[in-house]
Structure formats: structure tokens, C-alpha cells
A and B are shown apart, each in its own frame.
Chain A
Amino acid sequence: SAVISQKPSRDICQRGTSLTIQCQVDSQVTMMFWYRQQPGQSLTLIATANQGSEATYESGFVIDKFPISRPNLTFSTLTVSNMSPEDSSIYLCSVEGAEAFFGQGTRLTVV
């Protein structure tokens, strides 16, 4: 099973600023996924990150707001840009594999 590490685990940010979340996997994976979980809600896919190509965004999510990098097969970053209180959520990365595993998530609070 894949081991996924996310940083930071939590942060409190001022509105208008940006936060970059890192996701490190202990094995090479083709596809990595970024999800958002708003308070008390289910998980919603933000985008799929493939190494060597642009990320694919789901409806309602745009690259300018959530730029993603995927420099190699074990690492990805998600940036939450120009934050507002509505961006307060848990952000989770996940990887493709025989099973679908998640990191512990980044709990973001925007004040």
C-alpha cells in the first residue's frame, strides 16, 4: 500500500494570500488526485495531476485558483490562490493504484 505524506497538516491563513500544499508518495504513481472536503461535507475532486502534462480540472475548479504542479512521479503540489473564507476546507491528495489511498489531509482555515 502507498504511503502518502502531506504538508502542512494544518494552517491558518489571511484572506488574499496563497498556500501551497505538498503531497509526497513513497512509490512512483502515474496519476495523483486532489480533493476538497468542505466542513461536514463529502469529498469533491478538484483535479487530476499527471506527470508531464497539464492537470485536468473538474467542473467548478480552475487553474488560476488551484494551480497544480507534478514535477515527478512521487510528488505534487496544490496551491490555493487568493484565498477567501469560503476556501476553508480539508484538502486531500490521493493516488491511483490497486487501491485508492489518501494522505492525512491539510486543514485550511482562512480568516
Chain B
Amino acid sequence: GENVEQHPSTLSVQEGDSAVIKCTYSDSASNYFPWYKQELGKGPQLIIDIRSNVGEKKDQRIAVTLNKTAKHFSLHITETQPEDSAVYFCAASKGKKLTGGGNKLTFGTGTQLKVEL
């Protein structure tokens, strides 16, 4: 089955700096890669996702890149703010079609991001 590895497990940055979290996956058939932010006591919140037909996607201060050949994808957060502090999870799934999430997710182990003032 699919295996997703995520690094680093903890990341501490100064406010205004950039943060990068990296994930690798094992199943070349995976085609949907969401990123989630989980704050204490809450469920995971989808913040951005990318499908295998694109290499990069950006939404304001957040961007995700995908390298299908190397089977890795990364989350980039620029101009970090204290409210970005949370646990971030990457995930991968094999959607039935490129336009659908469509299938169960395999999660990475999570990254605890701390943005310090």
C-alpha cells in the first residue's frame, strides 16, 4: 500500500520567515495530494491541495509543489505569522479521476510548526 513520509517532525521559524515541509510517497498511482492544518482540539482543515496534472499551486502565502518523477511534494508558507503555528499533515490518495479526491487518504506523520515572535 501507499506510504507517506513527512519531514521535519518539528519546525521553528521566526515570524516573517518562510517554512517548508516535505513529503514523499511510494505509490506512483497516487494522484491527489492535500495538505491539512490542525489546531489544538480541532479537526484537520484542508488548506491547499494539488493533483498530479500540475506541478505547482499557490494560494496567497501558501504554495505546494509536486515532483511526480521523484514522488515528492512540498508545502511552502511565506511570511509566516504566529497564527500559522499548528500541526501540518500531508496526505496522498489515488483518486478515481483527476478531478476527484475519490479515495482513502494516507497521511504523513505530521509537522509541528511554531512561529516565534
**Across the interface, which residues of A come within 8 angstroms of B34, CB to CB?**
99-100
Evaluate contact between A42 and B108: CB separation under 8 angstroms.
Answer: yes
How many A residues touch B, CB cutoff 8 Å?
23
Residue among A42, A94, A103 making CB contact with B110, cutoff 8 Å? A42
Evaluate contact between B42 and A104: CB separation under 8 angstroms.
Answer: yes
Evaluate contact between A42 and B109: CB separation under 8 angstroms.
Answer: yes
Beyond A42-B107, A100-B93, whether A92 also contacts B100 by CB under 8 A is no
Beyond A45-B104, A100-B34, whether A107 also contacts B41 by CB under 8 A is yes
Look across to chain A and name the residue whose beta carbon is closest to the beta carbon of B112. A40
Query: In the complex, what distance in Å separates the CA atom of A102 from the CA atom of B49?
Result: 14
Task: For residue B35, give the distance in angstroms from its CB to the closest CB of chain A.
Answer: 11
Evaluate contact between A99 and B46: CB separation under 8 angstroms.
Answer: yes
How many B residues touch A, CB cutoff 8 Å?
25
Query: In the complex, what distance in Å separates the CA atom of A101 from the CA atom of B47?
Result: 10
Query: In the complex, what distance in Å separates the CA atom of A6 from the CA atom of B42?
Result: 12
Residues of chain B in range 30-68 having any CB-CB distance to chain A below 8 Å: 32, 34, 36, 41-46, 49
B13 at the interface (CB under 8 A from A): no
19 additional contacts (CB under 8 A) given A96-B103, A99-B101: A31-B103, A42-B109, A42-B110, A43-B89, A43-B107, A45-B104, A45-B105, A45-B106, A90-B43, A94-B105, A98-B99, A99-B46, A100-B49, A100-B93, A100-B105, A102-B46, A104-B43, A105-B42, A105-B43
